[in-house]
């Protein structure tokens, strides 16, 4: 099975996107970044910190309903230790959405006070909303604004042009145009995005992807994997061994008794994404990565 990642990085496009964002930063009071709570590190563009400079920052940990709650606590502490305001959301169920506006006003309390001191009590706060494709940015904006104005489609590049979204009389959101992909220099970043469905399955070999996912889930959440697939592998079992055993337990057989590992691969990916195995987070904050031998 080919281990190579067939995902392209477009530096020319990203240069334009970055230039536009840097220009738009002058228009806003703070930046709100949305990430997938299952893969908070892999689901962001690493250039964001440099682009945003000293602007106040908010981190939205989205899809918390799919992530490990204990791991989400760790990530929240990590971002807060860096001086960021953190809000945890599940945009589909609107969980956490009501905390956004109060969190913005708390984060920018000093600016609001300066406005009040100048007699500008009604002056609106302006936030730039950023995030890579398929982390739920458009859905988040729609939920916050209580409308269906921004297109929320499961494909990159739908949001086009500069859009100011009115939340209320005191808050405006700038939806950033352009496709802000993460960098795929690290193959593991690309795989984690593929696990969650942020990049299409046909970009990578499905069996190879599922083997890596099986190994990761077994290392991080062995009891959940054992319960779901009745696994009892040897200590040195590979991801392919795990996939094969799971396929055997499910009765996914081909001619001559061979295991249909491709079918099992697709089942594993679907059951991971739909939380049928459990609520899992696939990475730890950077300072904990070396200590986590299973990562």
pLDDT digits (tens, 9 = 90+) for 48-76: 888 888 999 999 999 999 999 999 999 99
Per-residue model confidence as pLDDT tens digits over 146-180: 864 544 443 343 444 567 888 887 899 998 766 67
Question: What pLDDT is stored for residue 2 in this prediction?
Answer: 39
Look at residue 139 and tell me whether its pLDDT is greater than 70: yes
Question: What pLDDT is stored for residue 253 in this prediction?
Answer: 94
User: Could you tell me the domains of the chain?
Assistant: 11-175 (3.40.50.300), 205-289 (1.10.1580.10)
Render the chain in DSSP notation, one character per residue.
Answer: ----------HHHHHHHHHHHHHHGGG-SEEEEEEETTSTTTTS-TTHHHHHTTS-EEEEEE-GGGS-HHHHHHHHHHHHHTT-EEEE-BTTTTBTGGGHHHHHHHHTHHHHHHHHHTT-TTPPEEEEEE--TTSSHHHHHHHHHTS--S---SSTT---S-EEEEEETTEEEEE--S--PPP-SSHHHHHHHHHTTSS-GGGS-HHHHHHHHHHHHHHH-HHHHHHHH-----TT--HHHHHHHHHHHHT-B-GGG-B-HHHHHHHHHHHHHTTSS--------HHHHTT-TT-
Phi, psi dihedrals of residue 286, rounded to the nearest 5°? -50, -45
First to last CA, the chain: 22
Per-residue model confidence as pLDDT tens digits over 259-282: 999 999 999 999 999 999 999 999
CB 211 within 8 Å of CB 204: no
Question: What pLDDT is stored for residue 288 in this prediction?
Answer: 53
- For residues 223 and 123, the model is more confident at 223
Q: What is the mean pLDDT of residues 102-125?
A: 92
- For residues 195 and 153, the model is more confident at 195
Distance of alpha carbon 59 from alpha carbon 77, whole angstroms: 11
In this structure, the chain runs to a length of: 295
CB 239 within 8 Å of CB 246: no
Per-residue model confidence as pLDDT tens digits over 34-49: 999 999 999 998 888 8
Per-residue model confidence as pLDDT tens digits over 119-129: 988 889 999 99
Tokens 């910190």 belong to residue = 49
């Amino acid at each position: 099975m080919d281990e190579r990642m067939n995902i392209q990085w477009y530096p020319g496009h990203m240069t334009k996107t970055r230039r536009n964002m840097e220009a738009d930063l002058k228009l806003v009071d703070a930046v709100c970044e949305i990430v997938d709570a299952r893969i908070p590190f892999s689901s962001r563009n690493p250039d964001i910190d440099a682009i945003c400079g000293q602007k106040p920052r908010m981190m939205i940990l989205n899809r918390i309903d799919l992530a490990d709650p204990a791991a989400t606590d760790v990530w929240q502490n990590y971002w807060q230790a860096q001086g960021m305001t953190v809000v945890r959301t599940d945009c589909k169920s609107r969980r956490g959405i009501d905390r956004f506006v109060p969190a913005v006003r708390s984060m920018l309390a000093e600016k609001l006070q300066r406005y009040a001191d100048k007699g500008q009590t009604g002056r609106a706060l302006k936030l730039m909303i950023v995030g890579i494709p398929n982390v739920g940015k458009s859905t988040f904006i729609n939920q916050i604004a209580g409308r269906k104005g921004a297109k929320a489609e499961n494909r990159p590049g739908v949001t086009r042009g500069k859009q100011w979204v009115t939340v209320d009389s005191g808050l405006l959101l700038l939806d950033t145009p352009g496709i802000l992909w993460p960098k795929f220099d690290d193959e593991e970043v690309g795989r984690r995005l593929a696990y969650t469905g942020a990049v299409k399955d046909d970009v990578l070999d499905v069996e190879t992807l599922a083997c890596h996912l099986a190994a990761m889930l077994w290392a991080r959440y062995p009891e959940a994997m054992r319960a779901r697939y009745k696994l009892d592998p040897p200590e040195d079992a590979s991801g392919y061994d795990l996939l094969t055993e799971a396929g055997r337990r499910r009765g996914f057989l081909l001619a001559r008794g061979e295991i249909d590992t491709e079918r099992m691969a697709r089942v594993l990916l679907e059951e991971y994404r739909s939380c049928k195995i459990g609520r899992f987070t696939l990475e730890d904050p950077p300072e904990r990565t070396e200590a986590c031998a299973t990562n």
